[in-house]
């Protein structure tokens, strides 16, 4: 089917990157959005695990300390990639612990089918450790959903987000606009996506 139009808004979002573990507990303790899910009663006063070593992972860990008994940040490298100010902020928080040179290799749950723990493996020695956890949060980035475009609009060279003009949702192609997480590498919130959606609608109307 071919559809013709004078203007179009691309709002296909971005998919959170996940590790190949924990699928059986997805949305039953495993999540890729601490801000979205972290306040759920199932996580309150429970140990939680955050996977990642960048600013996003530490931001999520800090957010989760509002609800968790403790938060363990698991990172596969010896050092964090996060900015120094974010590292200092996280390390000052008594509820945050760090497990370096480890990756999550398995998960297990309770009789209700909810996550109850994870298995972390040392990437250097292969030694495994069991961690009690009611929540496992992936904070390892997002992948904008742009493969279907086949390079027809300009993408950021580093992370493939659609490039829009300053203070606009216009892309490199006249009449093609982008809104939401597909062009937003920083905020990725429903309210900011809705805001750029409104901007795109107004720009389409004026196009």
What string of H, E and C letters represents the secondary structure of 36-87?
HHCCCHHHCCCEEEEECCCHHHHHHHHHHCCCCCEEEEECCCCCCCCCHHHH
CA gap 25, 40 in Å, rounded: 15
Q: Is 36 a catalytic residue?
A: yes
**Among 6, 23, 37, 55, which one carries the catalytic annotation?**
37
Contacts from 171-176 at CB under 8 Å and sequence distance 24+? Answer: 171/10, 175/6, 175/7, 175/8, 175/207, 176/7, 176/8, 176/10
**Among 23, 36, 78, 159, which one carries the catalytic annotation?**
36
SS3 104: strand
Half-sphere exposure of 187 (CA within 13 A, CB side): 12
- How far apart, in Å, do the first and last CA atoms of the chain sit? 25
Q: Is 106 a catalytic residue?
A: no
**Among 6, 23, 33, 167, which one carries the catalytic annotation?**
33
Which residue from 88, 62, 58, 95 is spatially nearest to 75, judged by alpha carbons? 58
Q: Is 23 a catalytic residue?
A: no
- Residues with a catalytic annotation lie at 33, 36-37
């Amino acid at each position: 089917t071919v559809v013709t139009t004078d203007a179009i808004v691309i709002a296909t979002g971005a998919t959170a990157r996940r590790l190949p573990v924990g699928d059986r507990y997805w949305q039953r303790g495993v999540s890729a959005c601490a801000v979205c899910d972290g306040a759920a009663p199932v996580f309150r006063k429970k140990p939680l695990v955050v996977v990642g070593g960048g600013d996003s992972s530490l931001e999520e860990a800090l957010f989760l300390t509002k609800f968790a008994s403790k938060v363990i940040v698991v990172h596969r490298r010896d050092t964090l990639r996060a900015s120094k100010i974010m590292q200092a902020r996280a390390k000052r928080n008594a509820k945050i612990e760090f497990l370096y040179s480890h990756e999550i290799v398995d998960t297990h749950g309770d009789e209700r089918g909810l996550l109850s723990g994870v298995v972390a493996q040392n990437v250097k020695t292969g030694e495994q450790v069991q961690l009690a956890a009611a929540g496992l949060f992936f904070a390892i980035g997002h992948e904008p959903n742009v493969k279907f475009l086949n390079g027809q609009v300009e993408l950021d060279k580093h992370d493939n987000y659609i490039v829009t003009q300053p203070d606009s949702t216009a892309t490199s192609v006249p009449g093609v606009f982008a809104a939401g997480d597909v062009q937003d590498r920083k905020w990725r919130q429903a309210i900011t996506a809705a805001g750029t959606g409104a901007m795109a609608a107004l720009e389409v109307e004026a196009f």
